[in-house]
Amino acid sequence: MTVHTHGIEKAAKADSEKLPDVSGTKITYAGGVECQITVTERRNDEPTITAGASVTVGGRTGVCESAQAKLLPQYKLDGAVVWETQHVLAVDGDTV
């Protein structure tokens, strides 16, 4: 079995709103930050996927929000067809 990390995306998102202030200047207030890592892997055997639990994929750990696997028959890896998996991980903290 051969597995390699094919792509990583990081995202941090916060809701923010501006409110009036007696100084006359609007002040920005940010809501909670949501950080995500999307890990794409390619491998040469059929994977089993699941979501909702804490997982480590491509060296990144987080709660799996979604996972999907897709067969890519046009590609071969070590002589076997390629499976591509994509895990969206929610990670704690304000930074990622």
Partner 1 sequence: MSQVFFENLTGANCHLSGQAIVALRVSEDVDADYDTASVVCIAPGGPHAKGAVVTTTEGGTSTGQWEVEDPIISQSGEKTWRRKDGSVNYAHIPLVSYKLRRAGYMRARSTLSKQVVGADNYPPKFCTMSRFAAITAGLQQLVTDRLIDVFEFQKQRSAWIPVHGAEYIATRIAGWVGLSCSFRARLTHCADEYIPVDKPAISAIREVASWSGASVLLDRSGTLQIFNWQETFGRGGSNPALPAITEYERHDALSSINHVTVVGVTYAPPSTRDVYGNKLWPLEATEQLALASSERIVSERIEIRTYPITPNLAQSLARERLARAYLQGNASRWIGPAEGCQGMRPLENRVLSVTRSLGWNGRAYRYEIAVKAARGAVSFAGSGSSVGGWW
Binding site for partner 1 (CB under 8 A): 17-32
Nearer to partner 1, 45 or 94 (CB): 94
Q: Are 54 and 62 in contact (CB under 8 A)?
A: yes
CA distance 80 to 45: 7
- Min dist CB 30 to partner 1, Å, is 5
Please give the DSSP secondary-structure letter assigned to residue 44: S
- Of 1 and 19, the one with the shorter C-beta distance to partner 1 is 19
CA dist 65 and 81 (Å) reads 26
Cβ nearer to partner 1, comparing 22 with 53: 22
Find the shortest distance in angstroms from Cβ 95 to partner 1.
Answer: 13
